[in-house]
Structure 1
């Protein structure tokens, strides 16, 4: 099965929360990695999302370390929508 990973940077203008992460994240740019697998048997290439991860600063005193946390794509969309509608 063919898989691919897409990386993009998403910017939040306000502190935010994402379901699955138990702390408030600060405003700023975050790298999001999406893993997709090819749907076999079609006459054209099509991919489906199988995982979404976000890189966040690790909790604790060592702010220079990062951790990759698996999140739902719906939770990410909700956080982006909330950020866009924040005053």
Structure 2
């Protein structure tokens, strides 16, 4: 079984919340890492998502970052809410 990781920068224009993180996060650019594993037994290459993580500022520690596990649907919901928020 092969595992691969995809990294992407996700931008939030407004402070936001993601289910599973008990605080509001500031607007900014966040690194999101998605781990995927191969689906065995197919005649073509296919992968399934096994983990999604986001790197955020650590609570109570200035200049420190932490990586937290989140749901991909929760990330998509936070992005949609950010996009629908009225411009400043």
TM-score (norm 2): 0.96
Matches within 5 A, 1:1-87: 1-60=1-60, 62-87=61-86
Unpaired runs of 5+ residues, structure 1, are none
TM-score (norm 1): 0.97
> Displaced runs of 4+ in structure 1, greater than 3 A?
none
Shift of 1:63: 1.9
